[in-house]
Structure 1
Amino acid sequence: MTDVAVVTGPSRGIGRATALALARRGLSIALLGPPSPRLDEVTDEVRRLDVAALPVPCDVASEEQVARASAEVVAWLGAPRVVVNNAGIVSRGAKVHETAPAAWDEVIAVNLRGPFLISRAFLPAMLKQGRGRLVHVGSISSTLACPGNASYAASKWGLIGLSKSLAEELRGTGLQSVAVLPGSVDTDMLVGSGFPPQMSADEVARLLVYAALDAPDAVTGSAIEMFG
């Protein structure tokens, strides 16, 4: 039976590059993200690599949508061997005392609540399978911070805490949890940050695939820095 990978936020940037890289390794790909022409395009790209691609409309911050999406993936493709928590958004420019609570909540909902909900939804099937790996896309902002970026930094610092906690909870189950922390990547999200790109989305995808498929089990709990 073909191994399955779930990638959130697959329509562009790191998510798209990772979905394609995993497809080239022969995995069937579940593509979880908002409906869009870009989601349709990456679905077609994956299928041209002669592997199954299942696009699943999903807002990762919605418990109901994540539950529905995970059930669909397991029913159609099977329990995933790999889950890549990549979906993320950023809100820049406002200092903490200038940040609207709704704007703060939106970033935390996608970047931290989302990986929690996705991991929680797929773990029962993965635990039953007895193997698998959760890979979380952090950021240089998981260890550093800059003015006007507190919500993003807080979400990515929190993601490392989630990943490390999962690693400890999953010891002895055959499952691992790993985080990858890229620096400035040449993607749409970097635009307006003031930082020049230090690496491509494809380079980050190569490390994510290594973490997902090739790294030894002892990598669990790691936060792998990739700063260019």
Structure 2
Amino acid sequence: MTVIKATLAAALLIHNRLGGRAPLHGTLPERLAVILRSRKLAIALLFYLIAQINTWLDRVYLGYGRRAKDAYHWPQEIAVVTGGSGGLGRRIASGLAAKGTRVAVLDIAAPEDGAWPSSLASRIQFYQTDLTDANAIRTVAEEIRSAWGHPTILVNNAGVPNAGQSLLHAEPSRTKLTLEVNLLASFYTIHEFLPDMVKHDHGHVVNVASAASFISGVKAADYAASKAGLLALNETLRIELQTIFKAPSVLTTIVHPSFIRTPMTRELFKSQSDFLEADEVVHAVVSQVHQQRSANLFLPNARVRFGATFRAFPTWLQDHLRLQISRGLLKRSRVTVTWPPNEAK
């Protein structure tokens, strides 16, 4: 009934936006009759209903079929958060520590003084780490295990933001750094921390990806490639936990946020009116960990979930939508790129 009610609520919204005049009220059969008399409304509602059913099935599979076997005791859990000195990572570390969990923050940059509330500072330990170096991560992992024990929560949050450059304007060194931090670092941390989770069939791996995992456009090739790779990594991890490692209670979550309002995006875009607030993403990540369930999180849900179906479209339609999205982003961009490069402003 929840799906039906949500569908009827969406019907009212779509009905109004399409300029429908027949009222959508009365009994359920009467409202369905109004919907079916409007072809556009009926088609829109059909797609919406399919999406709602699939969302529900995903939640059943990931949420109930992939739940922790044993309850988590937060003061006994140990979390690792990469890129945790600032931005999303700093707030995620605080959210996890708020329930008593000890948190190891791995980052190349040291946190500012007072990065975490004094009430949480004793439970958060910073480890300066070059996340592009597998040996450095191995060394830090040994330090964490020696000091605290084996981590049971891994949040792969570290990321190099999109620099807003085209394929031929981007510096190779920046492309290399983007792929190493956004993608390869997650391979390295999983390699270090997953074995004990598998051994005890207890743990949660969270990968912070992006809507760019599904839809790539102009001036984001390296960034989109890194996030698409992270999606593939998460999918493989989820299946290998069930088939090879026989640890189905080790949870996996991947987060696909759209644009987030940050100082970096303010430099790249003139308008951020429809961007997410950082706290929305932080709340989604921390809440999902505390629910002790696997998930694929789309933020905002409807827009990014639509992007997840994007590659099922025929090529001509995909490219038409990419062009429309890219042209819109170019109009909002503060970074002007032209060709040849010496003509760039």
Given residue 148 of structure 1, which amino acid in structure 2 is its aligned partner?
Answer: K
Check whether the contact 1:184–1:227 (CA below 8 A) recurs between aligned residues: no
1:205 to 263, 270, 282: 282
Instruction: For residue 50 of structure 1, report the CA deviation from its aligned partner.
Output: 6.7
Change (3 A) 1:46 1:166: farther
Aligned to 1:133: 204
1:94-148 C-alpha deviation (Å, 9 max, x unpaired):
2223333332111101100011111111112222332001000111211222311
Is 2:75 the partner of 1:4? no
Q: Of the candidates 79, 89, 92, which is equivalent to residue 15 of structure 1?
A: 89
Which is worse superposed, 189-198 or 79-88?
Answer: 189-198
- Does the alignment pair 1:33 with 2:107? yes
For 1:192, what is the secondary structure of its paired residue? helix
Runs of 4+ in 1 over 4 A off after TM superposition: none
Deviation track 1:156-207 (CA, whole Å, cap 9, x = no partner) reads: 1110110111111112412122101111222234233325163222221111
For residues 83 and 214 of structure 1, do their structure 2 counterparts lie closer, same or farther at Cα, with a shift above 3 Å needed?
Answer: same
Structure with max Cα Rg: 2
Indicate the residue corresponding to 2:297 in structure 1: 224
**What letter corresponds to residue 141 of structure 1 in structure 2?**
A
| One-letter amino acid of the structure 1 residue matched with residue 101 of structure 2 | L
Give the length in aligned residue pairs: 221
The CA RMSD measured in Å over matched residues stands at 2.0
Output the TM-score relative to the length of structure 1.
Answer: 0.88
The structure whose residues are more often strand, as a share, is: 1
Question: Normalising to structure 2: TM-score of the pair?
Answer: 0.60
Tell me how far apart the structure 2 counterparts of residues 157 and 223 of structure 1 sit (CA, whole Å): 14
Alpha-carbon distance between aligned partners in 2 of 1:150 and 1:169, rounded to the nearest angstrom: 28
Between 1:182-191 and 1:107-116, the stretch displaced more is 182-191
Inter-partner Cα distance in structure 2 for 1:167 and 1:37: 32
Note the residue ranges of structure 1 that are not aligned, 5 or more in a row: none
Partner of 1:179: 254
- Normalized per residue, the structure richer in helix is 2
User: 2: distance between equivalents of 1:91 and 1:181?
Assistant: 15
Residues 1:142 and 2:217 are matched in the alignment: no
SS in 2 for 1:116: helix
Instruction: Give the share of equivalent positions with the same residue, in percent.
Output: 29
Name the CA distance, whole Å, in 1 between partners of 2:188 and 2:298: 24
Distance 1:227 1:146 in 2: 19
| Matched-pair contact (CA < 8 Å) for 1:47–1:53 | no
Equivalent position amino acid for 1:199 in 2: L
- Structure 2: runs of 5 or more not aligned: 1-74, 302-345
Higher relative contact order (CA 8 A, sep 6+): 1
- 1:23-62 alignment, distance < 5 Å: 23-38=97-112, 41-42=114-115, 45=116, 48-49=119-120, 51-62=122-133
Q: Secondary structure at the match of 2:268?
A: coil
Q: 1:140·1:182 contact (CA, 8 Å) conserved in 2?
A: yes
Deviation at 1:46, TM superposition (A): 5.5
